[in-house]
């Protein structure tokens, strides 16, 4: 991470504000950091994550681009080639798809294609997931596309601290990072100490201890898992909750250690299940912890359907009950 | 001989004369400097008074529709509404020019055009209400679903027009999009395919000066968006988008050209959205009220009323009739949206595939069990 | 599948020829079938899969399009909306990425978005995978993107018969099908009986019986697995080989039945491992067969790297030795 | 005040005069009807004879380079070679116009331009040899990797030019692509970004009449590809792509304009590839030999030689010198490609990330163990 030249602050902050603070502090610390995207300048972004940054740093460093996602990311590639550190905002998950070719064929591969001569320190910020009543194309969870593309880091915060710390670490990374922002947590609040909230990419963290089983999750599903763990007490289950924070690289060491110690695991995410990141997690946990498992690693995920209309989305999103149903299936009779 | 009539002839070497002469077209490629206008010009007199009165009536109803839909968002009856207030002339002209057999490819902002061509208002607003995705049958209504991913509907319009032409059927596709949408790759690819296939498709770009907060000056450096037609060998037309008669005229010409095998046209209509981008947007962040007020002076509804009255085509009685019809529509909308929507959780699994996969059947069973347990608890 | 109006034939055929025959027979049987793509007309495609079809059916039904993949697929969507049955050729795997937005936001979702009123019977043919010495961007295995997108069928043949039968079934399907053609098998040869080679989408098939363990695979890796199974005999292992043929829908019944009967499984594919389709297979097999498993389901896949240059690709692609190494790890001591 | 100087001023309502006047530009938007030519015109005399001789020499070397590379494919020393035989005038002019600080964004067909600007021929061909992806250091050589996904390098050029401008550095980016590439969305988005950002970038489209087998008539219905500039508010230029002096002149003008803050230019060079698309392609499937022969008459190398001899700028000695240098290059290429390439399997894992992930470290160990076992066996 770049040297912080700004005053650290401690205050109650929403995740949106924490992301804004991370951008501001990183822009102050490193003049090569440039933001670009649709409506990021004058408007401050449709979620206001870039609020005030054009005013502070000027339109050149917080650029309202034409409306073309491949063009935005492709332009960012060129900027990075000339030594800038671009941070791209995609307005919503589904609107990042037009940039897929630039992402897969260039952003992810450039370092490899050039034997390390050309690094692309680009951060692509993508608000993702449902739970905010968005109409179609506004609630996709597209992490599996990115996580299965070698060359990308895939990071997703679930707390206010991590939103700040991980975004700064992502911008400072010399590799491209897909930074997935759980949009339904934008308005979640906590105390943020910017001096303390530093976090390198790649470490999972145990958010809750528990001896019966572990819920492995990330991003938007963390609060749901914590709620489920609380509710599980009534059933006599003491559930640990593990927050991955980074899907790539994956913290095999921490995950395996926790799973081995409890012997039962449920993976929870709201993205569709088939071919989702949960499949990878379940598969690799099983490969590494097979003889410690009392039951198969189960998955609680969104259904294998296009994201539903707002009034039906609660049926699709994994909730406390669905998680507890899965926990109940963990063959407690053994 | 196929309808495409592709002759992959050898490219003429460029040192031979004639090889690179620009296309000479009955419809000149470059748009005029000034947008086409009819209201306030002697041209108005050439138009059928019945058509003019119908356009006026539709404008009044359209404005009321926009207002009522906006009110519904405030009452929580619609999840979101991207209003076309200020842009009704384009919406109405589009709806009016479409024949029953033609297809409309609307963007999210074009519910008014959808309703205008005959789709039930409730059905047209279903997506924005949030109870289902598309509320109407696209095939029966010949109206594609409201399209959110920008410009992605444009190649669909081309493909449909092309397919209809291959089948020898007289069908025209009208794709509607905004100024911001012209920056997307799909816009470019659609125009190029349309031109190469000579498909009977018309592109109507409503240039309302903004893509959410981004003004046109940051979107394009072109003399006009209509000039974009040149790079595809297509005719481009610039029209005052608040002059419903002018938009109707320019679209009609484009439709005639398409119908007669003349291929696609790109129309840029200069207009302005008087409301925010959607009810969720705060337009004061990016534009000054003086600008909005200036455009209000050129409001498509009052403009039309003034000029038709001047021309003696409209009188108080007709104005009152239109207002009544508008109120009737608003009342219907209020009533329909007052009722709670029918929601069926099982519908989640019903139309993912023609036949649900074994996986989806399992998941549907899971949800059914959950709902049963909830109901039991 | 449409009524076949052509004479069935029996002859030795390459996979490329079988695909060509399937297109021809489907175009003869159904006048609404239209091909479009880059170089599919006059040239017959860079792999000659559409050879002769423009000559037989005319340029309108075998259309050389402008060079723009989103435009091609978007145009196909419109054609399908008007009742045609478009078959799109993407020239290479990596060149399908520009069409990702059309694919995910429209092709996969249209039926769902319109409550079944608008079906898109589009087949997207994509030559995929390595092993032919292609330079960068010519050897991607992109199946995980498609398999994790609800609304798409994902089909991939590994034999000459299936190339014919599954392609016809895909074109005849009322849903969009991503038809992945293993390009290194284009020149593989077998007897093709077009009358017999019919195959519905969705059924896995056991290509080789075996009692020790099962190799679960598809597409380009089938021949490698069969070779490995043969070589395994020397080690005393009797390996079954299961060819999935369809990744979506997934034939859970057949897969689970085979795994339960042998108790050990290795998933083999050449796509990168992390987040690959193999993760889904391993995860769901484990969920369904946990108590029948003597060892964790292991995966043998390409490494988590951008596809290597031609002279190094053999190190990346799963080969017989790597498969046998995995089989050796199946905890035979139990 | 920022260099972009965006003034998000209110859009002028269209009923006020002047609102929609086309941009008046010192560089007129529309290309001339006829492509710029210098050879065979009195203009030739205005050019520095040293430059002319250098261009000639480079053409001769370039032709030989193409021939040798093609031979290497036949010998199995290159996996594939997309030859620029017939297009050397564009390749040479591009390489010559670039200053050391400028950046080149080549397509797969532009190895000759890459070599021409000073990259080692072996390094330039590494990708096509198949031993590694990019053989040269893009930053040190200011040459982006050869780009295969069509038109995707165009936005990179824009971004780089924009970044250089933001830093106040005099750097121009030259993006090279083919006629087929202009159909891709990325081309459109790049031109639009370039225009809006007023970036110092030049787009050189080599229109060689074909995208693999697809002739231009199926690719575009535009009067010329240079006309595509109009839709972005950019100047477009049409040039005889087999006239190296003309291409050099048109590119130089475009570079001057960019350097002086005049922004981007789109240049279409009319040319022809005399070879097949690559050695793997069979061009007889889609074009007739009469066409090829007609273009041979306009071969860029012989054309240049003839006109320079006529102008008294070139004599037998210089022609012989150029041929010698070309042979020397060919000999170097033969020698370099005769050696077996150095291959390092471990390199597979080295540059996926700045630091290998734990997963990649495990996989690298696995491969190392496999290779050790193989070596042991
Ligand atoms: C591919 C894509 N990117 C981004 C968005 C988010 N978005 C929705 S509307 C909009 C602005 C569109 O502006 P314009 O095309 O001018 O249409 P208008 O809203 O003015 O009618 C944006 C950026 C989107 N819907 N699709
Ligand atoms: C996105 C993408 N689609 C398809 C291809 C496959 N392809 C390689 S070269 C080529 C033709 C390109 O034609 P043109 O742009 O005219 O360049 P030329 O080869 O004539 O120099 C095609 C279709 C590709 N490389 N990238
Ligand atoms: Mg707009
Ligand atoms: Mg070409």
| Cβ contact B195–D298 (<8 Å) | no
**Nearest atom within ligand 2 for CA of residue C97:** 1
In whole angstroms, how far apart are CA A320 and each of A212, B373, C25?
A: 17, 14, 52
pLDDT at B334 over 70: yes
Distance B214 CA to ligand 1 centre (A): 10
% of chain D residues with pLDDT over 90: 89
- D160, closest residue in chain A (CA to CA): A78
Q: Give C312's DSSP letter.
A: G
Spell out which residues of chain A touch residue D143, defining contact as CB-CB under 8 Å: none
Please state, as a whole number, how many other Cβ atoms lie within 10 Å of the Cβ of residue A233: 12
B351 is an active site residue:
no
pLDDT confidence tier of residue C8, bands split at 50, 70 and 90:
confident
Chain C touching partners, 3 or more CB pairs below 8 A: A, B, D
Spell out which residues of chain C touch residue B137, defining contact as CB-CB under 8 Å: 114, 117
Whether the CB of A326 is below 8 Å from some CB of chain C: the reply is no
The arithmetic mean of pLDDT across residues B161-174, rounded, is 98
Q: Given ligand 1 and candidates B127, B176, B180, which is best to mutate, with the most ligand atoms within 8 Å of its CB?
A: B180
CA gap C276, D252 in Å, rounded: 49
Spell out which residues of chain B touch residue A65, defining contact as CB-CB under 8 Å: 214, 218
Q: Give C308's DSSP letter.
A: P
pLDDT at C3 over 90: no
pLDDT at D5 over 90: no
User: Which of D181, D219, D370 is nearest residue C322 as measured by Cβ atoms?
Assistant: D370
ipTM field: 0.97
Decide if D353 contacts A152 (C-beta within 8 A): no
Query: Measuring CA to CA, which residue among C250, C112, C245 is closest to residue C175?
Result: C112
Edge-first strand order for the sheet with B201-207 is: B103-105, B173-178, B201-207, B265-270, B236-240
CA gap B266, B258 in Å, rounded: 11
Please state, as a whole number, how many other Cβ atoms lie within 10 Å of the Cβ of residue B294: 17
Chain D touching partners, 3 or more CB pairs below 8 A: A, B, C
pLDDT at D7 over 90: no
Q: Which tens digit of pLDDT belongs to each residue from B64-117?
A: 999 999 999 999 999 999 999 999 999 999 999 999 999 999 999 999 999 999
Distance D340 CA to ligand 2 centre (A): 30
The arithmetic mean of pLDDT across residues C154-170, rounded, is 98
Whether the CB of D222 is below 8 Å from some CB of chain A: the reply is no
| Ligand closest in space to the Cα of C126 | 2
Burial category of C241 from C-beta neighbours within 10 Å (exposed 0-12, middle 13-18, buried 19 and up):
buried
pLDDT confidence tier of residue B31, bands split at 50, 70 and 90:
confident
Q: Which tens digit of pLDDT belongs to each residue from D143-175?
A: 999 999 999 999 999 999 999 999 999 999 999
User: Which of C305, C309, C316 is nearest residue D132 as measured by Cβ atoms?
Assistant: C309
Distance A177 CA to ligand 4 centre (A): 35
Per-chain mean pLDDT for chain C: 96
The arithmetic mean of pLDDT across residues B19-41, rounded, is 72
How confident is the model at residue B172, as a pLDDT? 98
CB pairs under 8 A between A and B: 113
The domain segmentation of chain D, as residue ranges, is: 27-343, 344-377
Burial category of B76 from C-beta neighbours within 10 Å (exposed 0-12, middle 13-18, buried 19 and up):
exposed
The arithmetic mean of pLDDT across residues A58-71, rounded, is 98
Which of B:224-283 have CB within 8 Å of C? none
Whether the CB of C304 is below 8 Å from some CB of chain D: the reply is yes
CA gap A11, A3 in Å, rounded: 21
User: Which of A104, A144, A293 is nearest residue C275 as measured by Cβ atoms?
Assistant: A144
The arithmetic mean of pLDDT across residues B20-32, rounded, is 59
CA gap A165, B215 in Å, rounded: 34
Write the residue with the smallest CA distance to atom 26 of ligand 1. B149
Q: Which tens digit of pLDDT belongs to each residue from D295-319?
A: 999 999 999 999 999 999 999 999 9
Which of D:185-204 have CB within 8 Å of B? 185-189, 192, 195-196, 198
CA gap D103, B355 in Å, rounded: 54
**Domain architecture of chain A: domains with CATH:** 10-193 (3.40.50.970), 205-332 (3.40.50.920)
Which of C:75-104 have CB within 8 Å of A? 94, 97-98, 100-101, 104
pLDDT at C25 over 90: yes
Spell out which residues of chain C touch residue B190, defining contact as CB-CB under 8 Å: 71, 74-75
The DSSP line for A277-330 is: HHHHHHHHHHHHHGGG-SSPPEEEEE-SSSPPPGGGHHHHS--HHHHHHHHHTS
The arithmetic mean of pLDDT across residues C110-114, rounded, is 97
Spell out which residues of chain A touch residue C116, defining contact as CB-CB under 8 Å: none
% of chain C residues with pLDDT over 70: 98
CA gap A26, A32 in Å, rounded: 10
pLDDT at A56 over 90: yes
How confident is the model at residue D2, as a pLDDT? 41
Higher-confidence residue of A1 and B170: namely B170
- B241, closest residue in chain D (CA to CA): D14
Query: Measuring CA to CA, which residue among C72, A7, C46, B222 is closest to residue D82?
Result: C46
Question: Which architecture, in CATH terms, is B27-343?
Answer: 3-Layer(aba) Sandwich (3.40)
Instruction: Report the half-sphere exposure of B91 (CA within 13 A, side-chain side).
Output: 32
How confident is the model at residue D4, as a pLDDT? 40
Q: Which tens digit of pLDDT belongs to each residue from A4-37?
A: 456 788 899 999 999 999 999 999 999 999 999 9
Please provide residue D211's backbone torsions phi and psi, each rounded to the nearest 5 degrees: -115, 105
How confident is the model at residue C332, as a pLDDT? 87
The arithmetic mean of pLDDT across residues A157-168, rounded, is 98
Strands D201-207 and D173-178, bridge-based pairing? parallel
Please give all residues whose CB falls under 5 A of ion ligand 3, grouped by chain where several chains appear.
B 178-179, 208, 211
Edge-first strand order for the sheet with A298-302 is: A205-208, A239-243, A213-217, A265-272, A298-302
Active-site positions of C? 138
How confident is the model at residue C197, as a pLDDT? 85
How confident is the model at residue B15, as a pLDDT? 58
Question: For A140-154, B168-182, B338-352, which range has the lowest pLDDT when averaged over its residues?
Answer: B338-352
How confident is the model at residue B354, as a pLDDT? 97
pLDDT at C175 over 70: yes
| Cβ contact D349–C68 (<8 Å) | no
Per-chain mean pLDDT for chain B: 93
pLDDT at A51 over 50: yes
In whole angstroms, how far apart are CA D90 and each of B185, C115, D106, D205?
A: 27, 54, 12, 9
Which of B:135-164 have CB within 8 Å of C? 137-140, 144-145, 149, 152, 154-164
Which of C:4-63 have CB within 8 Å of A? none
How confident is the model at residue B4, as a pLDDT? 40
Whether the CB of D347 is below 8 Å from some CB of chain A: the reply is yes
Spell out which residues of chain D touch residue B269, defining contact as CB-CB under 8 Å: none
- D133, closest residue in chain C (CA to CA): C309
pLDDT at D16 over 60: no
| Ligand closest in space to the Cα of D208 | 4
Distance B143 CA to ligand 4 centre (A): 38
The arithmetic mean of pLDDT across residues C210-236, rounded, is 97
CA gap C129, C120 in Å, rounded: 26
A314 is an active site residue:
no
The arithmetic mean of pLDDT across residues D285-299, rounded, is 94
% of chain C residues with pLDDT over 90: 95
Decide if C148 contacts A145 (C-beta within 8 A): yes
pLDDT at A285 over 90: yes
């Amino acid at each position: 991470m770049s040297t912080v030249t700004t005053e650290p602050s401690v205050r109650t902050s929403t995740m949106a504000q924490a992301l804004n603070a991370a951008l501001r502090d990183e822009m102050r610390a490193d003049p090569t950091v440039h933001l670009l995207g649709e409506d990021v300048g004058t408007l401050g972004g449709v979620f206001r994550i870039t609020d005030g940054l054009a005013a502070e740093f000027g339109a050149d460093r917080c650029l309202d681009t034409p409306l073309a996602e491949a063009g935005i990311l492709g332009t960012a590639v060129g900027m990075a080639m000339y030594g800038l550190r671009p941070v791209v905002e995609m307005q919503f998950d589904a609107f990042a798809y037009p940039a897929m070719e630039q992402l897969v064929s260039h952003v992810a591969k450039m370092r490899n294609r050039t034997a390390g001569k050309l690094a692309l320190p680009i951060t692509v910020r993508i608000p993702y997931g449902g739970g905010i009543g968005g109409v179609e194309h506004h609630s996709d969870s597209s992490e599996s596309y990115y996580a299965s593309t070698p060359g990308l880091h895939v990071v997703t915060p679930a707390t206010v601290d991590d939103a700040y710390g991980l975004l700064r670490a992502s911008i400072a990374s010399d590799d491209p990072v897909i930074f997935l922002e759980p949009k339904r947590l934008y308005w979640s609040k906590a105390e943020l100490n910017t001096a303390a909230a530093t976090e390198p990419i790649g470490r999972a963290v145990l958010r809750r201890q528990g001896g019966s089983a572990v819920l492995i999750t990330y991003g938007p599903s963390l609060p749901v898992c914590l709620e489920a763990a609380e509710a599980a007490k009534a059933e006599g289950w003491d559930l640990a909750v593990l927050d991955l924070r980074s899907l790539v690289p994956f913290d095999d060491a921490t995950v395996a250690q926790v799973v081995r110690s409890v012997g039962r695991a449920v993976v929870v995410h709201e993205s569709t299940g088939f071919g989702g990141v949960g499949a990878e997690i379940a598969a690799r946990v099983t490969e590494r912890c097979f003889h410690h498992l009392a039951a198969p690693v189960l998955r609680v995920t969104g259904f294998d359907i296009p994201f539903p209309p707002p009034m039906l989305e609660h049926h699709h999103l994994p909730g406390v009950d669905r998680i507890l149903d899965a926990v109940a299936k963990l063959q407690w009779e053994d | 001989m196929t309808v495409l009539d592709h002759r992959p002839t050898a490219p003429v070497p460029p040192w031979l004369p004639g090889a690179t002469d620009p296309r000479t077209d009955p419809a000149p490629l470059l748009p005029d400097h000034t947008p086409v206008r009819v209201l306030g010009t002697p041209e108005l007199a050439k138009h059928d008074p019945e058509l003019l009165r119908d356009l006026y009536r539709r404008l009044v109803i359209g404005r009321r529709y926009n207002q009522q839909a906006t009110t519904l968002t405030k009452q929580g009856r619609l999840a979101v509404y991207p209003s076309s207030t200020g842009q009704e002339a384009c919406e109405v002209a589009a709806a009016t020019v479409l024949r029953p057999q033609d297809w409309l490819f609307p963007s999210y902002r074009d519910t008014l055009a959808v309703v205008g061509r005959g789709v039930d208002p409730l059905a047209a607003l279903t997506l924005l209400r949030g109870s289902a995705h598309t509320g109407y049958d696209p095939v029966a209504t010949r109206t594609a679903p409201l399209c959110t991913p920008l410009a992605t509907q444009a190649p669909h319009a081309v493909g449909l027009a092309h397919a209809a032409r291959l089948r020898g059927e007289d069908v025209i596709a009208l794709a509607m999009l905004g100024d911001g949408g012209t920056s997307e790759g799909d816009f470019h690819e659609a125009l190029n395919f349309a031109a190469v296939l000579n498909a009977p498709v018309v592109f109507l770009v409503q240039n309302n000066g903004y893509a959410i907060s981004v003004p046109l000056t940051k979107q394009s450096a072109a003399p006009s968006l209509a000039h974009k037609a040149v790079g595809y060998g297509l005719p481009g037309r610039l029209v005052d988008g608040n002059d419903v008669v002018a938009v109707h005229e320019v679209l009609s010409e484009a439709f005639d050209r398409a119908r007669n095998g003349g291929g696609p046209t790109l129309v840029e209509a200069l207009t302005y959205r008087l409301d925010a981008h959607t009810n969720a947007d705060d337009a004061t962040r990016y534009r000054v009220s003086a600008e909005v007020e200036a455009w209000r002076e050129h409001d498509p509804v009052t403009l039309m009323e003034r000029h038709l009255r001047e021309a003696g085509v409209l009188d108080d009685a007709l104005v009152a009739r239109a207002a009544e019809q508008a109120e009737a529509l608003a009342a219907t909308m209020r009533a329909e949206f007052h009722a709670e929507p029918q929601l069926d959780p099982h519908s989640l699994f019903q139309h993912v595939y023609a036949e649900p996969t074994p996986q989806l059947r399992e998941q549907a069973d899971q949800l059914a069990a959950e709902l049963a347990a909830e109901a039991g608890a």
